[in-house]
Amino acid sequence: MTDFLDEKRQEIASRLKELAPLVEEYHKLEAALQALDGVRAAPAPAPSPARAPRARKAASGADSGTGRRGRPKGSGPRANEALTLVKEKPGITIPELADAMGIKQNYLYRVLPGLQKEGLVRKEGRGWHALEAA
């Protein structure tokens, strides 16, 4: 009876070893699909006729010479919430952050690199870590 059990244990262990890469691929594809959720392909805009560049007016001081209006990228309440979670759970991944915040991952794929440029976080593998100065 023990020969039979040993044989079955070996068969199961061998099969698990065969399936491990497929399970890993499944999880990667699942994460990729979640990241793409909500992203829609927009039709290419029609080419506009060439014009001479115009002088840009500052809109009530909101344009700080960066070519964009509004608050600086990564400075909103969600970015601050993401930064707080990264500080609390070093190595947290974007899917884990999105679940904890109740939002879609695609937003975090824009925000965290902005926080990284500001020197607040760094990426190691798939996980994010707060820097000491953060």
C-alpha distance across the termini of the chain, in Å: 61
pLDDT over 90 at 11, yes or no: yes
Q: Where are the domains of the chain?
A: 1-39, 77-130
Q: Output the CA angle 65-69-75, nearest 5 degrees.
A: 100
Lowest mean pLDDT of 4-8, 30-34, 63-67, 127-131, name the range: 63-67
d(C-alpha 107, C-alpha 97), whole Å: 11
Q: What is the CATH number of domain 77-130?
A: 1.10.10.10
pLDDT over 80 at 86, yes or no: yes
> DSSP character for 59?
S
State mean pLDDT over 38-46.
67
pLDDT over 80 at 25, yes or no: yes
**pLDDT on residue 134:** 44
How many CB atoms within 10 Å of residue 72?
12
Question: Taking a C-beta distance cutoff of 8 angstroms, is the pair 82, 129 a contact?
Answer: no
Claim: this prediction has a pTM higher than 0.85: no
* Amino acid at site 108: L
